[in-house]
Chain A
């Protein structure tokens, strides 16, 4: 069974501080990993995916297969980063359908 664990429900940092949102997964094959974000009163949207290896809004995430982790990092947090962040997993490339989400981490960036 596939599972995603986000150990922190809440994370609070000050503006300009580094931030790391943790995500661990359980999956027997080669999953696709994603971070989704939901800003206040907005719909859920894709932030980044591991296969693209890109930085979005200053966030990066590296897939560590040995530790089965996909932590989201940003060196200098901004107030506009305050949101709910969900780590999600999908099956092998090509299966391409259902997402399994973690419970989410609410990030608050204080001024």
Chain B
């Protein structure tokens, strides 16, 4: 297990097309997060899962965005009818859930989306 992995690493698409990204978390981690990072900004929270349940979605996640984690393992993030404003780095992170102490979020390398 080499950490959180994300595929693809880069995606170039035309405006209006649909794209799907995949995140494979660290195997024993039951929490999975998606963040988006645009140029000059820090990562911004999109959504998170505990096991297969999606527990929170940000206002940033418009109707064109959907995320799933069907068996509580890998997750997919789909963007429908992409717009140029969707161009960003999409980051996935995972963590354990143990008690009430903070559980470090481990980040993947990200998927860079460019919408032409």
| Residue positions of A touching B, CB distance < 8 A | 4, 9, 32, 34, 43-46, 49, 51, 86, 88, 90, 93-94, 96-104
Sample 5 A-B pairs with CB under 8 A, ordered by A number. A49-B102, A97-B56, A98-B58, A99-B33, A100-B45
Q: Does B90 have its Cβ within 8 Å of any Cβ on chain A?
A: no
Measured CB to CB, the closest approach of chain A to B45, in angstroms, equals: 4
Q: Does B62 have its Cβ within 8 Å of any Cβ on chain A?
A: no
Q: Which of chain B's residues have a CB closer than 8 A to the CB of A94?
A: 100
Measured CB to CB, the closest approach of chain B to A89, in angstroms, equals: 11
A-B contact count (CB 8 A): 58
Measured CB to CB, the closest approach of chain A to B90, in angstroms, equals: 13
For chain B, the bracket of interface size reads 20 to 34
Query: Which of the listed residues B33, B56, B101, B108 has the most CB atoms from chain A within 10 Å of its own CB?
Result: B101
Contact of A104 with B42 in the complex, beta carbons under 8 Å: yes
Contact of B91 with A44 in the complex, beta carbons under 8 Å: yes
Measured CB to CB, the closest approach of chain B to A28, in angstroms, equals: 18
Question: Which residue on B lies nearest to A98, using beta carbons?
Answer: B45
Measured CB to CB, the closest approach of chain B to A94, in angstroms, equals: 4
Measured CB to CB, the closest approach of chain A to B35, in angstroms, equals: 8
- In the complex with contacts A45-B107, A98-B33, A86-B102 CB distance below 8 A: no
